[in-house]
Amino acid sequence: MKTKELFELHYLSPKFYEKYNVAVYPEIEHKPQRSYIMLLIKIDENTFALPLRTNIRHNSCYKFRHSSRPTESVTGIDFSKAVIINDKTYIDGIAEIDNKEYVELNDRIVFIMSKFRTYLKGYYVFAMGKAHEQQAKRYRYTTLKYFHKELGIKD
C-alpha cells in the first residue's frame, strides 16, 4: 500500500483463499464464483481488507448513503468480515466500484477508518473476555478471531 493513499480497492488472490480455505476458516467470505471487492486500509502494522457487500443486515459496518447500483438492499463495508493481509501475495487486481460509492468512500474514509478502529477496540475487549453479552453478540461471527497473532492477542 502506498504511503500517501489512505485506502485502495482490490480483490484477494487465489493464494489467500488457498491458505484461508472455507473448511478451516468458515467465517471468511469465500464464494469462488463471485469475487469480493476489498477496501484495503493500514492500521498500525497491519493491512486490513474489508469486503464491500451488497446486502448488509447488521450494524458492524459502514453503510453507503449513495449508490447508482439498482439494488433494494443496503450496500456498505462489512467490518465483521475484515481479514488481515500483510502478505502482499494475498492482494490481487485493482477493483472498481460504483462512482457515487467511490466519491462517498473518498470523502468519508477518515470517518470509516475511525469507525473500524472502534470496532477493533471492541474486539480486543471481547477477546479478553471482558465484553458484556450485547457486545459479545457483535463479535460472534467475526473473522478477526483468525488473526490473533497479527493483532497481538494471546489465546
Write the CATH number for 71: 3.10.129.130
Instruction: Give the pLDDT confidence of 82-125 residue by residue, as tens digits.
Output: 999 999 999 999 999 888 889 999 999 999 999 999 999 999 99
- pLDDT value at residue 135: 83
Phi, psi (degrees; rounded to nearest 5) at 49: -115, 115
Q: Domain residues for 89?
A: 8-151
* Neighbouring residues of 133: CB distance < 8 A, sequence distance ≥ 6: none
**What distance separates the 2 farthest-apart alpha carbons in the chain?**
44
Q: Does 53 map to a domain?
A: yes
Q: Does 1 map to a domain?
A: no
- pLDDT value at residue 6: 79
Q: Does 13 map to a domain?
A: yes
Alpha-carbon distance 142 to 127, whole Å?
11
Q: Supply the DSSP string of 79-145, one letter for each residue.
A: GGG-EE--SGGGEEEE----HHHHHHHHHHHHHHHHHHHHHHHHHHHHHTT---HHHHHHTTT-GGG
Q: Does 3 map to a domain?
A: no
Q: Does 86 map to a domain?
A: yes
- pLDDT value at residue 3: 41
Count of structural domains within the chain: 1
The number of helices, as runs of H, and strands, as runs of E, in the chain is 4, 7
Phi, psi (degrees; rounded to nearest 5) at 44: 55, -125
Phi, psi (degrees; rounded to nearest 5) at 77: -110, 120
Instruction: Give the pLDDT confidence of 10-63 residue by residue, as tens digits.
Output: 999 999 999 999 999 999 988 766 778 999 999 999 999 999 988 888 899 998
Q: Does 21 map to a domain?
A: yes
Q: Does 2 map to a domain?
A: no
